[in-house]
Amino acid sequence: MVAERKEPVVCLVARHDELASEQIVSMQQLCKKPLALPRQSFGLRQLFDRTAEARLFKPRIVVEANNLDILRATAVLGTCVTIGPEISARREIEAGLLKAIPIDLESFRNVRSAVCVHQERVPSYATNAFVKFLKERFPLGSPR
């Protein structure tokens, strides 16, 4: 592992969505909304599914995609809400198109992102430059 950073998973909603006025959302609130979620191969989706299943919630998943940009675009339209790390929606949040709302579960607050480099491969110049950039900004194990 080269770098690690705490990246909580949040609810991403259009500014005009009823959830936008909330300071924190529950899994139950999320499961009642039309959802745009990543495919089941994504760790983000696996976390969501495990959590919903453990609480016997039946989420209303109306959009599945293997591209987080598509999920955020759907949320911007206001037809669905989605989840993800706040940093992934920084552009939409700064533009006032989405609001990031914390989810009231420890498992969503303690998600960490890691950058790993295969030890048996010789990294390119670009890879080394990128790894150096990451290490300077997100030291190994540092919280956000």
Residues 50-75, mean pLDDT to the nearest whole number? 96
Separation between Cα atoms, residue 46 and residue 38, nearest integer Å: 9
pTM above 0.75, yes or no: yes
Closest to 68 in 3D by CA, of 83, 48, 90, 51:
83
pLDDT confidence tier of residue 69, bands split at 50, 70 and 90: very high
